[in-house]
Amino acid sequence: MGIKITPSILNADLADLAGEVARIPSADAVHLDVMDNRFVPNLTFGLPLIENLRAHTSMMMDIHLMIADVDRWAPGFAAAGCESVTFHIEASDAPVKLARELRALGSRAAMALRPATAIEPYEDLLGELDMVLLMTVEPGFGGQSFLDLCLPKIRRTRALLDKLGKELWLQVDGGISADTIERCVAAGADTFVAGSAVFGADDPDAVVQALREQALRVDSAV
């Protein structure tokens, strides 16, 4: 599997986003958490900030929309030049239409699931997607503890993706660190969001590199 590390800037210095992105040159993408205090009990930033950041970085922008009315708002992020846009399935009324719209605008389309949302009802949707994001904490805040109960779902999702035979990324988000990344790789994840583990460190890029090496070691062993 191609291992990808996509750090979240949620717990970074939000007043200097461009500067923070420049501190993680080894990352495969920067993961940006958009929250509206409706879908989750927290409020972060929206499209205007993302549009501004776009002008400051050429790094792949991986947008994680934790917002209600996502069918209405998500296409704007693709139109702003974000390479990947993730919507929560729990917030979308027309996910097939939305995924097609995102792809037509040139973005990758991704579907996110809360920890208690099963993947099986969405099996037929997978062919419309470029990535599945499995939350490994309840969405809303950085710095929470990884939920081990998500591991069987990671394994079942990997099996569905293998059956489909298309190149979809399987991303995990929440509580990912040196302590938890190995069990996620072993379960079949290949794309890792890490927020506090990366930006809580003095040298964020060294953590990105170390997480990648750790994941690759496990990946080549399984």
Residues 166, 15: Cα–Cα separation, whole Å: 39
Q: Which does 195 bind (CB under 5 to 8 A by kind): ligand DX5, Zn ion, none?
A: ligand DX5
Nearest distance from C-beta of residue 68 to ligand DX5, angstroms: 15
Q: Which does 10 bind (CB under 5 to 8 A by kind): Zn ion, ligand DX5, none?
A: ligand DX5
Active site residue 33: yes
Smaller CB separation from ligand DX5, 42 or 159: 42
Among 87, 90, 51, 52, which residue's Cα sits nearest to residue 72? Answer: 87
Q: Which does 142 bind (CB under 5 to 8 A by kind): Zn ion, ligand DX5, none?
A: ligand DX5
Of 33, 36, 130, 190, which one is the catalytic site residue?
33
Q: Which amino acid, one-letter code, is at 203?
A: D
Region near Zn ion per CB under 5 A, out of 31-39, 40-48, 99-107, 141-149 = 31-39
Residue that has been written with the tokens 């991986």 in this structure: 62
Residue that has been written with the tokens 């708002």 in this structure: 73
**All residues at 6 or more sequence positions from 9 whose CB lies less than 8 Å from its CB, including other chains:** 17, 20, 21, 30, 31, 32, 33, 195, 199
Smaller CB separation from ligand DX5, 113 or 194: 194
DSSP string, 73-131: HHHHHHHTT-SEEEEEGGG-S-HHHHHHHHHHTT-EEEEEE-TTS-SGGGGGGGGG-SE
Which one of 33, 101, 130, 190 is in contact with Zn ion (CB under 5 A)? Answer: 33
Q: Which does 136 bind (CB under 5 to 8 A by kind): Zn ion, ligand DX5, none?
A: none
Nearest distance from C-beta of residue 34 to ligand DX5, angstroms: 10
Q: Where does this chain bind ligand DX5 (CB under 6 A)? A: 8, 10-11, 31, 33, 64, 137, 139-144, 173-176, 193-197
Given a contact cutoff of 8 angstroms between Cβ atoms, the answer to whether 7 and 24 are in contact is yes
Residues 160, 175: Cα–Cα separation, whole Å: 24
Active site residue 173: yes
Q: What are the catalytic residues?
A: 33, 173
List residues near Zn ion by CB under 5 A: 33, 64, 173
